[in-house]
Amino acid sequence: MAGGVVLVQGASRGLRLHFCKHILATRQEAKVIATCRKPAAASALQALCELYPGNLTLLRLDATREAEIQEAAEVVAEEPGHLDLLINSGAMLHPSARGETCLQEVSAEGLSITLATNTLGPLVMAKYFAPLLRKGTGAFGHQFADQAKQHRAVLVNLTAKVGSIGDKALGGWYSYRMSKAALNMATKNLSIELGRGKTKVVCDSLHPGTGNTDLSKPYLRNVPKNKLFTPDYSINCLMNIIETLDMEKSGNHGSTLLG
């Protein structure tokens, strides 16, 4: 695999950590920038740094704080100066760590915090990192003979199937469902704006399926075995999708859901 510069937002654990592991293991020349709120306390990322000292960089970034996003973008602009892939993967179910099961459990505070983390954060990330994506080298994606399909870089927002309005029957989880539905709309908007001009960026929302992670662990009892994916399986599927994205597929998140 070619190298490329990748930034994984919210990379301290779960699938986002596995993104870092997968890219470092499969793309020997890749440079990975992993962000999280407290890098010094992220033991798994610190251990990964020891394994890949020249390929992995840690940056402090709280996606709910615009000033920190801007500061991180300025650091990346200095070195390496561009991005080939941005993965917005930080997310939360709810500040209480459990989704609302009924309207009486909804609070303005819970809605605000969840939306700030899952929706506003990725959109503000796009605001500050889009100029660096437009300078990408095309390391993620093929060089197409058809100019209309070519792109410089890829922006991926991790979404969730429970954010689908059409595929909805159970109810509940107001904050999380709303945040992911709004994220899908933001991604569609981004695909239009960043698809203009000569330096195009593919934007897509990808659903990793249900995995055995901290976020979904309390809700796995009723998940069919064939719909419960290991982190490695989900990441392999997602990276296969990312590698084959082109401008014609940009914004078509509905066709790339897993499970």
User: Residue 63 and residue 71: Cα distance in Å, rounded?
Assistant: 11
User: Residue 138 and residue 6: Cα distance in Å, rounded?
Assistant: 12
Per DSSP, 247 falls in state T
Taking every pair of C-alpha atoms in the chain, what is the biggest distance, in angstroms?
56
CATH superfamily, domain 5-255, is NAD(P)-binding Rossmann-like Domain (3.40.50.720)
110-117: long-range contacts, CB 8 A cutoff, minimum separation 24: 110/175, 111/174, 111/175, 111/178, 113/64, 114/175, 114/176, 114/178, 114/179, 115/175, 115/178, 115/179, 115/182, 116/64, 117/63, 117/64, 117/90, 117/91, 117/92, 117/179
Phi, psi of 157 (to 5 degrees): -110, 125
CA 74 to chain centre: 20
User: Model-level pTM?
Assistant: 0.89
Token pair of 62, please?
């709280």
Give the pLDDT confidence score for residue 123 in this predicted structure: 98
User: Residue 68 and residue 63: Cα distance in Å, rounded?
Assistant: 7
As a residue count, the chain comes to 259
Domain limits, the chain: 5-255
Give the pLDDT confidence score for residue 214 in this predicted structure: 56
Identify the three-state secondary structure at position 37: coil
Give the pLDDT confidence score for residue 3 in this predicted structure: 86
Give the pLDDT confidence score for residue 57 in this predicted structure: 96
Residue of 216, 213, 215, 204 whose CA lies nearest to 242: 204
In b/e form, how buried is each residue of 114-135, taking b as 16+ CB within 10 angstroms? Answer: bbbbbbbbbbbbbebbbebbbb
Mutual orientation of helices 108-115 and 174-193 as an angle, nearest 10°?
30
User: Residue 38 and residue 58: Cα distance in Å, rounded?
Assistant: 10
Residue reference for tokens 């595929």: 167
Strand 56-60 with 153-158, pairing: unpaired
Give the pLDDT confidence score for residue 254 in this predicted structure: 44
Residue of 129, 163, 144, 168 whose CA lies nearest to 249: 144
User: Residue 213 and residue 220: Cα distance in Å, rounded?
Assistant: 10
Q: By the 8 A CB rule, do 157 and 63 touch?
A: no
Give the pLDDT confidence score for residue 235 in this predicted structure: 93
Instruction: Show pLDDT as tens, one digit a residue, over the chain (259 residues).
Output: 568 999 999 999 999 999 999 999 999 899 999 999 999 999 999 999 999 999 999 999 999 999 999 999 999 999 999 999 999 999 999 999 888 999 999 999 999 999 999 999 999 999 999 999 999 998 987 665 566 667 899 999 999 888 887 766 688 899 999 999 999 999 999 999 999 999 999 999 998 876 555 555 555 555 555 566 788 889 999 999 998 888 888 887 644 444 4
Token pair of 77, please?
């602009």
Give the pLDDT confidence score for residue 255 in this predicted structure: 41
